[in-house]
Amino acid sequence: MKRMLVSLVYSACLLLWDVLATYTHMGALDPHAIAAQSYAQSRHNARPPLRTLNPTKTDSECRSRPLDLVFIIDSSRSVRPGEFEKVKIFLADMVDTLDVGAEGTRVAVVNYASTVKIEFLLKDHFNKLDLKKAISRVKPLAAGTMTGLAIKAAMTETFTEESGARPKARKMSKVAIIVTDGRPQDSVEEVSAAARGSGIEIYAVGVARADMNSLKQMASIPLEEHVVYVETYGVIEKLTSKFRQTLCEVKVEVIQDPCKCEARLAFQKQTQAALQQLTTKNIHSLNTIEALESMAGWG
């Protein structure tokens, strides 16, 4: 019995020694190590989760202004893979805010670097899920920044009836949103003027190293509404709220019924005549009372 107790105590001592050695090796008994681990954990917990494009996520939409909308996105070498992913998330968020459909807003994407790639046309996708899946498949093209070439391609290859744009007779708003972080390597002024002249409203979004003068040459007027600048791709997603207000605003045109206007005018004239008549009678009555008071010696 005594031998068994000694064996148990010896085993317990070995186990305790093992535990102490392990924790000492991990630094658990070192106050500095504990503080370092606690700080690292707090930094990790405070860091926002990395957001990726989720095609199934939906958001509120606006139903007031159907558009033919084309995104023209810069995917040159200066745009890092993580930054390009943020641009795609911005596009997906924009799709979520719009009333997408064959009779609503139609969306196309033009991707460019030194070459231009039409990722999909206005006629290709009429629901949000398909659009966001198509956006998630877009890949960067690497070298070069041929912004003028991309604007020309958008004007001649996406804003056409063959590609899904609505006929001019329908007076549908045509909007292009350009996202770039560099200086164009070709001319943008003339082709942008031609695009605007054809009825395309252009928003120029500049990020980080974007050339402000080029943004102004591309954008529609007033420039303060159509030129947007953000310092990093990290905040580009926040532009969704700005474009939601701009593209979803309700423009109400009040048309007066002429019959109602005439009836209101007639009523106003009748009311004015009645008031004048009452006023005249009151003045006449007041004059009569004053005359009687004067004759009776009360005045």
pLDDT of residue 42: 41
H-type helices in the chain, by residue range? 2-26, 31-46, 81-97, 128-136, 147-153, 189-197, 212-218, 223-226, 239-247, 258-295
Residue ranges for the chain with pLDDT beneath 50: 6, 8-9, 12, 14-17, 19-51, 53, 250-258, 260, 292
Q: Give the residue from 87, 97, 18, 107 showing the smallest Cα distance to 62.
A: 97
DSSP 116: E
pLDDT in tens, 276-297: 665 555 555 555 555 545 655 5
pLDDT in tens, 76-116: 998 999 999 999 999 999 999 899 999 999 999 999 999 99
CA angle 142, 128, 122 (to 5 degrees): 65
Exposed (0-12), middle (13-18) or buried (19+): which is 168, by Cβ within 10 Å? exposed
In contact, 227 and 196? CB cutoff 8 Å: no
Q: Give the residue from 170, 213, 178 showing the smallest Cα distance to 195.
A: 178
Q: Distance (Å, rounded) from C-alpha 95 to C-alpha 62?
A: 10
- For the beta carbon of residue 141, count every other beta carbon within 10 angstroms: 20
Whole-model pTM: value is 0.65
Q: Distance (Å, rounded) from C-alpha 154 to C-alpha 73?
A: 11
